[in-house]
Amino acid sequence: MLTFLHAADFHLDSAFGALTARQAAGRRRESRELGFRLANYVNQNNVDLVLLAGDLFDSGSAFRETGEQLAEALGQMTARVFIAPGNHDWAGPGSPWLTVRWPENVHVFREDRLTAVELPEWNLAVHGGAFTAPERAESFLAGFSAPEDGRVHIGLLHGEIDPPEARYGPIRREEIAASGLHYLALGHIHRRTEPLRLGKTLCAWPGCIEGRGFDELGEKGFYRGTIGENGRIVLEFVPFAQRRYEILEVDVTGRSPRSAVEAALPEDTARHLYRIVLTGRTGEGGADVRGLQEALADRFYALEIRDCTRMAEDIWARAEEDSLRGLFLRELGERRQRAESEAERETVDQAARFGLAALDHRDLG
């Protein structure tokens, strides 16, 4: 039985621009260490074959040092390694795929068409192709059919299935079904997909191996697979990311925001990056976001707090006061009554909250 690892979308040298300079530098350093962590896993778990489906670098002009470190890490693997460059790290002039010296156990597909590498010791062939420009409108699998020769045929590509726009290696379902491949290892989609069978071909995206923002939430990692008799493929997802991005919504109605957040927090937050979204109803002062941020920041690698609460209804009862505050609330209250949607009412509520804070010389953060 042969064991393989399928990973994609490392995006090494990402800027991490939403983080502080210190945090971003730390994340870039961790991402450069990813290859060595992966090599340790491969060697300790007797992985035979590593399939890397593109966008290992965030751009085609990654730092040379980053490329050399990745080459060193892959060279430490006892496995055979295959790489299919994607739309971010396309194989063009100045690309690490063309300028860095890659170890003997590493094969980088550099042509913008399918080519095959035969591995007779495993009765197997790996078919792959490379992006040679930032976009590719043609399918790598158009007209392709693996020979029926008793070997196991693996495909390695960066692309997407039946996309609305044909820009990034579009592949049609019927092309996969007709390909004769036993497994198609894909990259490009950052959210892991469950394995999909089309014809006799099993295909999957493992997702990005590390999240880089709040559009890449939860566990990230790779697929570990086995190839059994008659080319039967069995996949298992392996969480591998050092840090996770998570969004936590907390209803603070009837409670202090801090106590509500603390009650909702899981225990293992110190290594991760959180966006906490406050919901529900609060008093006219709203939530003290700045104070909450300062009180909780040490519990996270990075923390962002968003106040999406609404004003409690009883705030509007003070519109009858004979004061500047009352006059202000009466004016806004009339606009609130004329509002034609909940979104408009929430906008008026926010205006009231900030206006009352200004009248009281308070900072809502």
Q: Does residue 138 surpass a pLDDT of 80?
A: yes
Out of 205, 239, 273, pick the residue that ends a domain: 239
pLDDT at 47: 98
Q: Report how many domains make up the chain.
A: 2
Distance in angstroms (rounded) separating the CA atoms of residues 135 and 33: 29
User: Do 217 and 327 belong together in one domain?
Assistant: no
Max CA pair span of the chain? 90
Q: Are 356 and 327 in contact (CB under 8 A)?
A: no
Out of 239, 263, 295, pick the residue that ends a domain: 239
Structure tokens at 364: 């809502």
365: in domain: no
CATH value at residue 18: 3.60.21.10
User: Do 146 and 284 belong together in one domain?
Assistant: no
Q: Does residue 365 surpass a pLDDT of 60?
A: no
pLDDT grade for 75, boundaries at 50, 70 and 90:
very high
User: Do 224 and 118 belong together in one domain?
Assistant: yes
Answer whether 0.85 is exceeded by the pTM.
yes
pLDDT at 118: 97
Lowest mean pLDDT, pick from 89-93, 139-143, 319-323: 319-323
Structure tokens at 254: 């009837």
User: Do 253 and 316 belong together in one domain?
Assistant: yes
Q: Which DSSP helix (H) or strand (E) runs through 212?
A: none
- Amino acid present at 181: L
Q: Are 70 and 209 in contact (CB under 8 A)?
A: no
pLDDT at 319: 72
User: Do 135 and 183 belong together in one domain?
Assistant: yes
Alpha-carbon Rg of the chain, whole angstroms?
A: 26
Q: Are 364 and 354 in contact (CB under 8 A)?
A: yes
Tens digits of residue pLDDT in 257-288: 999 999 999 999 999 999 999 999 887 666 88
Tens digits of residue pLDDT in 208-245: 999 999 999 999 999 999 999 889 999 999 999 999 99
Q: Are 151 and 125 in contact (CB under 8 A)?
A: yes
pLDDT above 90 as % of the chain: 75
User: Do 122 and 203 belong together in one domain?
Assistant: yes
Distance in angstroms (rounded) separating the CA atoms of residues 158 and 82: 13
User: Do 119 and 265 belong together in one domain?
Assistant: no
Q: Please, what is the average pLDDT of the chain?
A: 92
Q: What is the domain range of residue 119?
A: 2-239
Distance in angstroms (rounded) separating the CA atoms of residues 175 and 184: 12
User: Do 256 and 231 belong together in one domain?
Assistant: no
Q: Does residue 248 surpass a pLDDT of 70?
A: yes
Out of 239, 258, 273, pick the residue that ends a domain: 239
User: Do 59 and 195 belong together in one domain?
Assistant: yes
364: in domain: no
Chain center to CA of 357: 38
78: in domain: yes
User: Do 169 and 235 belong together in one domain?
Assistant: yes
Q: Can you tell me the mean pLDDT for 33-50?
A: 98
User: φ, ψ for residue 152 (rounded to 5)?
Assistant: -85, 135
pLDDT at 117: 98
User: Do 225 and 249 belong together in one domain?
Assistant: no
Beta strands in the chain, from DSSP E residues, in sequence order? 2-7, 49-52, 80-83, 106-108, 115-119, 124-128, 152-158, 160-161, 170-171, 183-187, 196-198, 201-204, 221-227, 233-239, 245-251, 273-279, 281-282, 302-307, 310-311
pLDDT above 70 as % of the chain: 95
Q: What is the DSSP annotation of 101-164?
A: ---TTEEE--SSS-EEEEEGGGTEEEEE---SSS-B-S-TTTT-----SSSEEEEEEE-EES-S
